[in-house]
Structure 1
Amino acid sequence: MTGVPPKALTPGASLPPVAGPARPDVLRLMLAHMQHGIALYDSEHRLVMANALAESLAGLAPGTMIPGRRLDEFFRQQAEQGVFGPGSEGEAGLRMRLQIDRSRPSRTLRRRADGRVMEAVSEPTPEGGFVITITDVTDRIRAEEAVAAKAAMLEAMVANLRHGIALFGPDRRLIVANRLIERFGHLAEGSLQPGLGLDTIIAMQVAAMASGDPAKDADLARAAIEADRSKPMRYTRSTAAGLVLDVASDPMPDGGFVITMSDISRLSAAENEARAQANLLGITLQNMRHGIALFGEDRRLLMLNQDARLNFGVSETTGRVGMKFDDLLQNQFEMGAYGTGPEAALRLAALKEHDRRLPLRSRRRDREGRTLDVISSPIEGGGFVISATDVSELEGARATAAAHAMTLQATLDNIRHGITLFDAKGDVLAFNTVFTRVLDIPPGAVRAGMSINSLVDLLEAQGDYGEGEVGRAYATRLRALDRSQSLRATRVRPNGMVLTMVSDPVPGGGFVVTFTDVTEDRRIRAELESARNAAEAANSAKSRFLATMTHELRTPLHAVIGFSEALMPEPPPARAKEFIASIHEAGQHLLSLIDNILDVTRAETAGLVMADYDVHVGALIDSAVRVIRAAADSGGITVVTNVPSSLPRLRADELRLRQILLNLLANAVKFTPAGGMVTVRAAVRDSGELCISVTDTGIGMSEEETPLIFQPFSQIDSSLSRRFPGSGLGLYLSRVLAEAHGGSLTVSSTAGVGTTMMVLLPAARLRPQGDDAGGAAS
C-alpha cells in the first residue's frame, strides 16, 4: 500500500474557491468519488482518514478502517483473511509490507483471489506521515500480459520460420544466413559463412544443383550474378529433390539485400495470399505497438492501423484510404492538434512543405493532453510511413526522475556532511562536493560507477590512511568491511582534520557512507573539558583553602585567647611577659596569613606593586637563614650557604625577595627530616642571570606531584590531619613574586631524595661591578 497522494491532499496545495459546501465537505465529496482508494497516516502509522474505496480495494470489511488504528493492524487483518495468499506466501507478503520504509516512496502489486490486480503506492508527507493510494490496475496488467504473449508468439514464429534467409551487405558479401537456406540450396550445413561473396555462393549452388547442361547452368549463374539487387525481384524454381522454392531478393535501405527461399511445394495455390501476409507481417514487426500510417509516392494514404486513428485523431470517415496527406494535416490543424494562433499555422506549413524523402521526428500534445512521438520515415518507392507513439508515461517518468535527481543533488551539495551512495555491487551512484572537499580528492577523480575498492585505493595512494604498512593495513580492513551492517569510526587525517565516518545499508542492497568534519566539535569539547577540569580544580582548591585557613587561623587564635585569659587574674601571673610575647607572636602569624591571602588576591586582580631598590644578595640570604635557623636547629636540620662575596647588587623589591627566600627555606626545613641538610646557593650564570637555589634532602616529590605545589591553597597532602601544616600559599606566592621581577621559580625533585627550588632573575636587574649607587629608584 504506498503512493503519490492526490493533488487535493498534497501539503501546501490549495483548492480554488468553490460555492456551496465548505472546503472539508468538498474534500470528503472528492475522496468519496475518486477512482482510487486513499488513506492518510500520521508519523506513528495511525490512520488519519480514508475513503470507502480504500477498504474495498484493500479487501477489508466496511467500517474496518477507523481513524486511530495502526497500519500494521490492517496488514495483519488482511493476512488473516488470506489477502496476501495462503500459508507461507501470505506470511512472506505480510513481512514484506511491515518492513517497507514509509519515509521513502514505494510501490507494490497484489493479485487478488478473483484475479483482480491492485497497485499500492506509498508516498511520505512533510509532516512525517504518508499517503497510501490503492488502484485497480487489472486492465493495464492484462493488457501488458497480452502484449507480452504476442511478443513471445512473434519470437517463436521467427525462431520457427520455414524459410531460408540470407542477408547481404552493400558489398554483396554474406552477413548472416539460416540453416534452411543451405538445405534449399543443396549446400553442406555450415558452408555459408559470413563474408562469402554472392558470386562465390552462386557458383557453389550451381555446382551442387548441376542440371547436366553446362551452358544452361552457366546462363543461370550469370543471370543471378548480374541481377540488379537494388530492386526487388522474385521468381520460382524447382530443385532436383522436387521442391518448389519461392526465391525473393529484396533491397535494404543501406544498399544491401535479403534473399529469401521458401518451400511453397504445398502452398503454390495460395502464393498471392502468402505474399500479402508476408508484407503485412514485415510492417507489423517493424512498427508494432505504434500508430502506423503508410503513404504512397503520391502522398495518398495506403493504410493505417487503429492506433494511428487514435493518435492522429481521425475517424473511419475522415481517415479513409486514398485521402491526401495534406488533407490529413489540415484536419489535425482544425482540431487544434498543433495549438492555436500563428505558431500553429507556421507548424502546419512546415509539415506540408517537408520533403518526405528525408526523416523527420517531432513531439506534440494531442487534445487529451497525451505526448506523442511522431516519426516520418521514407520507404523504398518514394512513399513514407508515419508512426505515432504515446510517450506520456515515459515523459512523465523522465521529468519526475530529472526533478528528483536535481533535488537530491541540490540537497546533497548543501549539507555539511560528505555523502557517497553506493549500489549493491559497491559502485558509486552519487556523491556531493563536500565529500571530495573534506577528503582533498582532486576534481574528476571520483565518478559514478567507480567501485569502493578503487576509491579506497585512491585515498591510500594520497596517504590518507597513513604511511607504509600502517596505511596498507588500514585500507585492507576497509575493503573487508561488511557493508550490510551499520558501521561507525573516527580517524584523524594527515592534515589534522578529525572525521567521523558512518556507513549504513539502504534498501536494495546498497549503502551510504557519510563523512563529517568534527574537528571543531572535538576542539570545543576539549576546551569545555579543560574548563570543567579547571572549574573543578578551582572549586576543590577553594574547599581546601577553607579547610586549611580554618585550621591555620584557629591555631594562633587559640593562643591569643588562651594567653589572654591567663592574664586576666589579679595580680598578673609571673609569666605575664612570656604570655604577652606569645600573644604577639600569634598575632604576627595571623597577620602573615592575612597578608598572604591579600597578596594572592592582588596577584589575581590588580597585580602586585613592586618596589625597586639596590639589594645586597649575600646579606639578604644571610638574614633569611638567621630567621629560619632556629626552626632548623630545633628539627635537627643543618642549614648551609654557598654564596660568593663577589655577587653584584640586584635591583629588586627587597621585602618581596626576602619573602621568597623565607618561603623556600621554611618549606625546605618543614619537609626535611632530622639529620637532613638544607643548602642555599647563589651565582651568576654565563647567560648573565642570577640563580638562587634552595636544596634539601627531604621527602621529595614524584613527577606527577610537582605541578600541584604551585597551585594556590594546595598541598600534596591536603587533609586536616597532615603531618606538615601550612596554608598552601607560600610557593604559589613565591612564583608570582619571582615572575613580578621578570624571573621564574622552578622545581626539581625526586621522591625520597630531596627537592631543589630555583629562582632565576634576569641579567637586566644586576648592577655592574663597582657601581655602588644605592637607594630606591622607584
Structure 2
Amino acid sequence: MTCRLEQAEAALQLVLAMPGAVVVYGAGGEVLLANAAAAAMLAMPPGASLAGMTAADVTRRLAELGFYGPGEREAQLRRALDADPAASHRRLLCATDGRWYEMAFLPLPGGRRAMVTTDITQYRQAEIAAWERLRLTDAALRQNPSGIGIYDREMRLMLHNDAYESLLNVAPGSLRIGMSFDEVTDAVISGMAGDAEGQAGFEARRHVDRSQSNQFLHLRSDGVAMRAISQPLSDGGFMVVLEDVTPLHAAEAEAKRRADLLDAVLAALPHSVCVYGADSRLLMVNAACRRIFKDDEVAIGDHLLDTLRRREEGGIFMDRRDPEETFRRRFNFNRPPVIRMCADGTVLTGITAPLPDGGHISVISDITALHRAEFEAQRRAALLQVMMDSMRHGICLFDRDCQVVAVNRLACTLTGLSEQELAPGAALEDLRRIQLERGQFGAGQAGVDVFKWRAQRVAPNLEAYTRVTADGRCIEVSTDPTPDGGFVRIYSDVTAERRAVAEIERARIAAEEASSAKTRFLATMSHELRTPLNAVIGFSEALVDEVDPQNVQEFARTILEAGRHLLSLIDEVLAVAQAGAGALQIELRPLYLPSILEGILRLMRPAAEAAEVSLALEPLPALPRANADERRLRQILLNLTANALKFTPMGGSVTLGASLPQPDVVEITVSDTGIGIAADQLERAFEPFVQLETSHARRYGGSGLGLYLARALAHAMEATLVLDSERGSGTVARLRLKAVKP
C-alpha cells in the first residue's frame, strides 16, 4: 500500500510539475484537479485553489482574461460551453495580449474530462504545489494519537492506553491488565456484532506468530481505518501499535484514483512527456513520445544520453548535433524552447523543467502546423513588402497607438527618415521631432508652426495636405483610417507635377505676352510704315505741281529717304520671317574684322553726329580672322550700333571694340552710356515683337525686331550674342565668333 501511495504521489507530482495548465473536471463539471499553471493562467492569487469552481466558472474566467481573443464575452462563453464534453477536441486561441495557446479537451473514464492548455508562445515552467499539501498531511498523521498495547511472553496484556481501547472499538474499561491476548481478541470480536468480515479477520489473526514483525489493516463498520503493527520485544513479548489511518487510507484511495486519472491524462496528451530521475534514467513516458519520435525502443530505465545518441544516429533530425552537447544543454532550465526540424518535415519544440528529487521532466510538442502557418505568414509578409516597395508612392502603416507597423523604402526617402528610424514600433511623435530637426517641415519658425499644427492632429482622420521638404521637394501626404483603429499614410512626390503646372502657367503668361507683343508690334509697325508712306505720298503730291527745280530736288531726296527707310523695315520683317522658318542663307568664310568695324564706324558716324553722340572705335589688338557671313555680320553690328545710338542721350558715347578672350573665340563689343536695361528685362529684349517701352507716344522708335534679328543671325553663324546692362548704367552687347586657326 505504501508503494501505491508513493506511486500516486509521484504521478501527482508529475502532473503538477507540467509546464502546461491542466484542469480535470468531474462528471458534473466540478473541478477535481488543477495544477499551479492553471491557477496562474486564471490569474488566481498565489496559493489559491480552484476547489469549488466549475467548468463554466473557469471558462468565464478565461474569457474575462481575454484567452478567447476580442469579442463579446457571453458569446465566447456559450461557444466554449456548447462543445461536447464527451468528445476529444482542441482549440488554438489567440489571447488579447497577443499570446497563443493550444487548449485540448480530453475525455476520461467515468464521465470525467481534462483540459490541457499549453502556452506555445513561450513554455513556462510549471510550479509544483503538491509538496505543501503532502507536508501538511504528514504533520497531521504524526499528530494523530496512536493506541499502544504491550503483551508479555505469555501473551498477557501488560500495558495499554485509552487510544488502544478506542481504536479497538471496545467499551472504555473493558480491557484489564493481565487479560490474555485471546480474551482481548474475544472482547473485540464480541463488539463487532454484524461485522462478520471483521470478526473473521480478527479470528484469523489470533494465531499470528508474534515473534515476527507484522501488520494489518482493519476497516471498522463505522468507517474508521485502523492499522495494527505487531513488533516483538526483547523479553519475548510483543507490542501492538494501533493507528487511526482513516485519512491515510482515504488518501491512498484518492491517490489510486488520481494515479489512474493521471495515467489516462498522460496517455491522451498530444505532447511527448518523459520523466527522468536524478541519474538521467527514464522513469515515465507516455504514448505520444513513441508516436512523435516513431521510437518503440524507448524503455523505462534507459539513460537519456543513450536515447539522444540513438536518435541522432537514426537520422531523425535534419540537422545533426553532438549528443553530449545536447545532453548537457538539457539541464539549462532557463533557456528558451528548442525548435528542431525532423527529416520527415515535422517540427518539434521542447522544454525541460526540474523536479524536486533532482530529476527533470521533458515535454516535446509537435508544432508543425504552427511552424507552417508562421512560414506562410512570413512569406506573405515578404511578398507584401515587395509589393509595397514597388509602389510609386511612399506608404507607412500605423496602429491605434500611432506606432509604425509597416513601411516601404520610398516612404523613408520622402519623409527624410532612415529605415532604422522607421522600424516597426517607432512612435509617430518621435518621428515628427526628427523631421523637425532635419528641416523636413521647413526652415525656421515656419517649420516649427507646421510641427505644432501636425502634433495637434493625432487622431487618424481622413485628410490630405502638402508640405515642402528641406531639399525643396513638394510632398503630398494623405491619411486614411484603418478598421483596427490605426491609419495609413501615403506620401507622393508631386514636385514634377507642381513644376509642370508652374511651367504651363509660365507658358500661358508668355503666350499672352507674345500675343500682346504681336498686337503692339502691329500697332507699332502701322505707325512706323505710315510715317515714311505719308512722306512719300505727301511730297509726291507736292512734286506734281512744283516747278522750282531746287524744291523738286529736295522733295525727290525726301521721297528717296522715306522709301529706303520703308524698304529697311520690310527687310527686317522678311529676315525675321526667314529666321522663324529656318530659311536664313548663311555663307561662312574667314573675315578680317578691323576693316568691317571701320566700315561700320563710317556708316554710322552721320547718325551719331545727328544724335550728338560720340562714336569711336577702340584700338584693336592683333586679331585672327573670324568665321562669319560678312553681310549678316554687318547687319548685326549695324543693328547693335543703331540700337546703342538710339538709347544713348545727347552727350553720351558709343564705343566699338574687339578682343580675344579665348584662343578660339573673338569677341566684338558695342558699348554705350545710355539708359540701360533692368536685369530682369535682358532676355525679353531678344524676344520678337517686344519693345520695352510699349506706349505709342514712346520716346524711341523702332519695330522691336532689331535685337531678335541680331541674335537669330548670330546663332545662324554659330555665334553667341548677350547683353550686359543695368538700369541707368549703359549697355554692352557682346558678340562672340569662332576664330579661324592660322
Q: TM-score range by the shorter chain?
A: 0.3 to 0.5
Which is higher, the Rg of structure 1 or of structure 2? 2
Higher RCO (CA-CA < 8 Å; seq separation 6+): 2
Give me the TM-score of the superposition, normalised by structure 1: 0.46
Give me the TM-score of the superposition, normalised by structure 2: 0.47
